[in-house]
Amino acid sequence: MDYKDKFIEYLRKERRYSEYTVNGYEENIDEFLKFLGAKNLNVLEVSKDDIRKYLKYLDNLNLKNSSISRRLSSLRSFYNYLVSNKVILNNPMKLIKNPKKEKKLPNFLQYDEFMKLLESIKNADALSIRNKLILELLYATGLRVSELVNIKLNDIDLNNKVIKTLGKGNKERLVYFGDYAKDLLSKYLHNERKELLKGKNNEYLFINNQGGHLTTRGIEDIIDRIVNEASLKHKISPHVLRHTFATHLLDNGADLLSVKELLGHESLKATQIYTHITEERLRSVYLHSHPRAKK
């Protein structure tokens, strides 16, 4: 049995990794061994320069940085195993760093897509009104889903259209909502919520069909069903509505510091990613609209 096979057996039997994870390690190491074979290099005599050549090879394949990082992580574990079992003295991966993570722009909805979600809820029963309010409040406030499910009745100031919420790090902040959300919230509080309670007592705003506290998983399932009903093609989660809230505010002239406070971000850096979205939007509009932008 060679060293790679022993390592894979170690992952499977001693580390008890899942078969899926073990297969991923094996594929990554086999790919590396194939590269070494083509260069007539011995896996036990590899240098840092050889690893850098392999990095260049991976880069030339136009792989994402995340894919390259996974391959390097597999090799790092493999060589750590060889060192700990005294097969080799020095780990050639020791000073090799993973490439920087790509900045993934948040997914968000166009306003007409958000309206399509709302309009797909055609019924007027208690659950439908509750579900419509969930969408309205996520979009109106930018709340995280964990914050939304923990809204209590005494957190809501209906007249001033304000909700008090407890965010990450138990940091309290105020979020605001507009007239559309206010009208629907008022209707829900006076009618549908009482119907869903079925005579039970519950301090939380959102109630499930048994009169209990609606969970984050429950809201995710509700939104999945609404998205299917609306026949929207891309994946939409509660967090996509939070991204949509921030993007639409910035697109319509809100300043970055205000959006940061509304989102409950600790630093401005977390909010700045939304400026990349609006810059891309402007660039797209320019290229599409200006008569001399394209030949």
Residue 295 within a domain: no
**Is 130 assigned a catalytic role?**
no
- Give the residue-averaged pLDDT of 126-133: 97
Q: Which helix (H) or strand (E) holds 253?
A: none
User: How far, in Å, CA of 52 to CA of 41, rounded?
Assistant: 14
- Give the active site residue among 144, 193, 248, 260: 144
Give the residue, 275 or 42, on which the prediction is more confident. 42
Query: 60 - beta bridge partners?
Result: none
Q: Please indicate, yes or no, whether residues 171 and 256 belong to a single structural domain of this protein.
A: yes
Query: 173 - beta bridge partners?
Result: 165
Q: Please indicate, yes or no, whether residues 53 and 192 belong to a single structural domain of this protein.
A: no
Q: Please indicate, yes or no, whether residues 72 and 126 belong to a single structural domain of this protein.
A: no
Q: Which helix (H) or strand (E) holds 198?
A: none
Residue 102: predicted pLDDT: 61
**Is 101 assigned a catalytic role?**
no
Q: How many residues does the chain have?
A: 295
Structural domain total, the chain: 2
**Domain residues for 200?**
111-288
Q: What is the CATH number of the domain that holds 27?
A: 1.10.150.130
Residue 271 within a domain: yes
- Give the active site residue among 39, 152, 168, 225: 168
Q: Please, what sign has the CA dihedral across residues 179, 184, 187, 189?
A: negative
Q: Please indicate, yes or no, whether residues 203 and 259 belong to a single structural domain of this protein.
A: yes
pLDDT tens-digit map of 190-228:
999 999 999 999 999 999 999 999 999 999 999 999 999
Q: Which of 68, 84, 100 is the last residue of a domain?
A: 84
Residue 148: predicted pLDDT: 96
Q: Please, what sign has the CA dihedral across residues 280, 284, 290, 295?
A: positive
142, 175 Cβ separation under 8 angstroms: yes
Residue 1: predicted pLDDT: 54
259 pLDDT more than 70:
yes
Query: 207 - beta bridge partners?
Result: 213
pLDDT tens-digit map of 57-69:
988 888 888 889 9
- Give the active site residue among 25, 139, 188, 274: 274
Q: What is the CATH number of the domain that holds 191?
A: 1.10.443.10
- Give the active site residue among 71, 130, 132, 242: 242
Q: Please indicate, yes or no, whether residues 77 and 194 belong to a single structural domain of this protein.
A: no
Average pLDDT value over all residues in the chain: 89
**What does DSSP assign to residue 249?**
H
Q: Please indicate, yes or no, whether residues 30 and 163 belong to a single structural domain of this protein.
A: no
